Structure 1
Amino acid sequence: MREKQGMGENTPGPSSRRQPPTVRLRRLAAELRHLRQDAGLSQDDVAEKTGVNIVTLYRIETAKTKPQLRTLIALLDAYGVTGSRRADLMALQKEAKQRGWLQSFDANLPDQYTALISLEAEAQQAINYESLFIPGLLQTEDYARAVIRGVLPTAAEAEVENFVTARMQRQALLENETPLRLWAIMDQAALCRTVGSDAVMRDQLSHLIQQAQRPHITVQVIPFSAGAHPGMPGSFIVLKFPADDPDVIYIDSMAGDLFIEKETDIQRYNDICEHLRAIALSPTDTTALIASLREDH
């Protein structure tokens, strides 16, 4: 996760009880929306045909709520869905709220933060660009603690430790039998700012070098010499999922956090990723730069 402002990955915000979406719930919502459209029915038509409230239908199709089984059956009947596809969608409804380790994590985490964790846990690949921070999945515990304390100077110690624990547990995604594939791109500024102390930064940069050697992790740095680049407006994460599920873009800013799922916006961020990869140092040259900066500490 990222370390910075607002309600997001980098800076924890206030807690919330709203359940985060899951990939399964998003997939079910998209399938039901497409089935209705393929049947040539409006939401009003479906409400009249099935008795499902139009507000409920809207919330189901936008993944804001999980349909009850009887509601799903009514919708599938209205759309004429039978056989294996019907069975698959009913199985999807049963699994729609499975959220991995977060489901049992005893912590008061803000809503957007838990949403990011939940989606990240189901992703196959994450592309994380950071302008000022070491990416959260590659942070050491001491660096994460120093960042959270620095960004939230009035936070109680228990709150700081709560977020440090969550951040460290997230990193288990990189240790799974089928680990998350992480492509971390960061501006050189993220490496040059001393966070915590020289000792904290030395350990953090050493950890970054070690992680960059792993086959499922790619680390690239955009050097100061690259000049202005498309990543300067701010950090973001692109989450990519299996089974052709659409990407999700997560943006964190002082104004608040945002999940982007519109196809044209997703393509724009993927294009930005390609540009950043092209202007960044190669992984080998990145490791050499990190090693040289480590010596400064």
Structure 2
Amino acid sequence: MAGKRTVLTVRLRRLAAQLFEMREHAGLSKEDVSGRTGINVTTLYRIETAQARPQRRTLTAMLDLYGVTEQQRADAIQLLADALRPGMSRPYEASLSEVYAAYINFESEALSARHYQTSYIPGLLQTEQYAMAVIDTAMPKLEGPVLEHRARARMDRASVLTKDDALELWVVMDEAAIRRVVGGQAVMRGQLDRLLQDIKRKNVILQILPFEAGAHPGMAGSFTLLDFHDPADPELVYVEGIAGDELIEGHPEIRRFGVIFDQLRAMALSPRDSTAMIAEAALALGGR
């Protein structure tokens, strides 16, 4: 189902933003560009919103019309070449939603992630058995191979925590995530043991938001804020929901989620006390 679709990547988003800015700087409307190049207005819209990759000849026609510098031309052509390279989601795209596949691509190139999770252990910190149980519960009608494919994608995502330029991950997680037994006691105990190992990493901070904290601004749902190395790549938010996931851009929305995350981490237990709570929950499950 996903073989020919265009899945968003960091480079494609940057190219789209540059082409929009170039057209605006040239003082041209999309209709102007269409009339002078023959490129369909809908195609221009899709290119400028990163819903489609331009063909090389299309990109060249746009750059010629916009009167860009040689350096701008070279940068845009290089971005197109980079955007044609498969993102981290490529092996799994047939089993993933388009938004989630795009998120995996962004996550793989992010500098840092601030993640709030309401109900379960975050995907980057899950064991395969726990991931299978979560996915099977959330999507009970998935066929076996698709379920396994989605779980494997989740496992491979975790490489961002161990690569040379590792992702800096800060998690605030509701206490329910460590108290709710998923997949049975043995699976849950293995998951909590894995969690205790992962939070020893220098690039991982984890805080538990205890039940006793009461009502809090994250009750509406889980989200992740991604920041990137290059200032040309604006931060974005990934929001999870039953009705579907969403990638959000724009300073006002980003700032709102950033404020919520700051409030949540202020209400949560310290990393040390959070580790103690996880260890206590694991001990209560027994088995090891």
1:251 to 232, 239, 264: 239
Distance 1:213 1:108 in 2: 32
Check conservation: 1:22, 1:97, Cα contact below 8 A.
no
Check conservation: 2:89, 2:102, Cα contact below 8 A.
no
1:22 aligns with 2:12: no
1:156 aligns with 2:143: yes
Check conservation: 1:205, 1:290, Cα contact below 8 A.
yes
Check conservation: 2:2, 2:93, Cα contact below 8 A.
no
Encode CA deviations 1:37-90: one digit per residue, 9 max, x unaligned.
Answer: 122222122222333221111111100111112221222222221122221111
Tell me the secondary structure at the aligned position of residue 238 of structure 1: strand
Q: What is the letter of the counterpart of residue 90 of structure 1?
A: I
**What corresponds to 2:214 in structure 1?**
227
Q: CA deviation at 1:221?
A: 1.0
1:205 aligns with 2:227: no
2:176 to 174, 189, 193: 189
1:270 aligns with 2:258: yes
1:141 aligns with 2:128: yes
Encode CA deviations 1:105-164: one digit per residue, 9 max, x unaligned.
Answer: 585333233222222222222222110010000001121122122223333332322222
Distance 2:91 2:259 in 1: 36
Encode CA deviations 1:10-53: one digit per residue, 9 max, x unaligned.
Answer: xxxxx544231111000000011111112222212222233322
**What corresponds to 1:81 in structure 2?**
68
Structure with more contact order per residue of length (Cα contacts < 8 Å, sep ≥ 6): 1
Distance 2:93 2:226 in 1: 25
Root-mean-square deviation over aligned CA pairs: 1.7
Tell me the secondary structure at the aligned position of residue 137 of structure 2: helix
Check conservation: 1:99, 1:118, Cα contact below 8 A.
no
2:159 to 161, 172, 177: 172
Q: CA deviation at 1:212?
A: 0.8
2:44 to 39, 52, 57: 57
Percent identity over the alignment is 47
Check conservation: 2:6, 2:53, Cα contact below 8 A.
no
1:31 aligns with 2:11: no
**What corresponds to 2:98 in structure 1?**
111
Distance 1:53 1:106 in 2: 28
Check conservation: 1:173, 1:179, Cα contact below 8 A.
yes
Mark the CA change 1:33 to 1:107 in structure 2 (over 3 Å): closer, same or farther.
Answer: closer
Which runs of 5 or more structure 1 residues have no equivalent in the other structure?
A: 1-14
Q: What is the letter of the counterpart of residue 214 of structure 2?
A: G
Mark the CA change 1:49 to 1:154 in structure 2 (over 3 Å): closer, same or farther.
Answer: closer
Check conservation: 2:92, 2:150, Cα contact below 8 A.
no
Q: What is the letter of the counterpart of residue 171 of structure 2?
A: A
1:66 aligns with 2:53: yes
Mark the CA change 1:80 to 1:291 in structure 2 (over 3 Å): closer, same or farther.
Answer: same
Mark the CA change 1:196 to 1:105 in structure 2 (over 3 Å): closer, same or farther.
Answer: closer
How many residues in Structure 1 have an aligned counterpart in Structure 2? 283
Distance 2:91 2:185 in 1: 36
Mark the CA change 1:199 to 1:60 in structure 2 (over 3 Å): closer, same or farther.
Answer: same
**What corresponds to 1:125 in structure 2?**
112
